[in-house]
Amino acid sequence: MHLTPTKRGDIYDAISPLKALHGSAKGLSVLITGAGRGIGRAQALAFAQAGATKITLVSLEEEELKEVKTSIASLAGLDDDRRVDIVKADITSEDQMAKAFDEAGSVDVLVNNAGRMNAEAKPHESACEDWWKTFEVNVKGTYTVSREAIRRALSTHHVVQTIINTSSVASGNTRLGFSSYGSSKSAINRFTEFLHFEYENQGIRVFAYHPGAIMTTLARDSMPTNTFATLTDKPELSAGYCLWLATQGDRVEFLRGRFSSATWDVDELLEMKQTILEKNLLWTRVVGQEQTV
């Protein structure tokens, strides 16, 4: 489903850290998983350009993280006191994520960007370990990192202002051969909803979103080659959209707990606020079954 009349594929003024969102992340401490390349890298650069005070980059690939840190440091106009920390860590490990948050300290914005996609295979053709590894990284990883962030926020009374979970249009589509990836993204939508309803009165804002159809390393290594021509969206689109969700406060409250897409034009999305609320759109539901909380 494409909700807004305009489909975006690249950064534009309304979500640009150099234009409408200039200075919007000032004072924020941000932790991004999967930050070594592609979408995570673009997100780190966007938050830096928008003035984030501290950025903690998490990935299994330390050399990639070093490159991102260097790229952030080379951006023109950044404050001298900016701090960028890199943490090599497995997002599915409780101990390693505890150490990552020890390094990060208080976190205002968490972007759960790290993910996995197994190669195309129907269940009977798949390797059990490979199928489950995708589910484990996408779901357990998102849970483990979010759990650590929320535990620390509640214990220190420092609110995690925003948690952004990376979902996908695959959460609502049925692409044959990708049962693990699609199911895991549906689970991320539902997990986001649970977090929203469980912590909405404690100052924790949670969103699930589709980053766009982007030619990432993950997509190149896992998607069928005949889909490559459709992967034309830019990582900067996702980065700007996450920055917008994290910094726009009351303007985006109606999207809390819900699924949305970086490809939807944000000005048009804001105009649809009443329709979304009145029709109770953008939840992951069993059609015909009333949702209760």
Q: Which residues are catalytic?
A: 181, 185
- Please tell me whether residue 7 adopts helix, strand or coil conformation: strand
The span from the CA of 269 to the CA of 282, in Å, is: 12
- Please tell me whether residue 48 adopts helix, strand or coil conformation: helix
Contact 43, 238 (CB under 8 A): yes
Question: Which residues are paired to 208 by β-bridges?
Answer: 165, 259
For residue 164, CA distances in Å to 55, 93, 204, 288 come to 15, 19, 11, 28
For residue 160, CA distances in Å to 122, 198, 250 come to 39, 14, 16
For residue 61, CA distances in Å to 35, 48, 159 come to 9, 20, 29
The span from the CA of 89 to the CA of 95, in Å, is: 9
Distance of CA 215 to the CA centre of its chain: 16
Helices (H), the chain: 38-49, 62-74, 94-104, 128-135, 141-156, 179-199, 217-222, 235-247, 266-271, 273-278
Q: HSE of 80 in the Cβ direction (CA atoms, 13 Å)?
A: 0
The span from the CA of 106 to the CA of 261, in Å, is: 28
Question: Which residues are paired to 260 by β-bridges?
Answer: 209
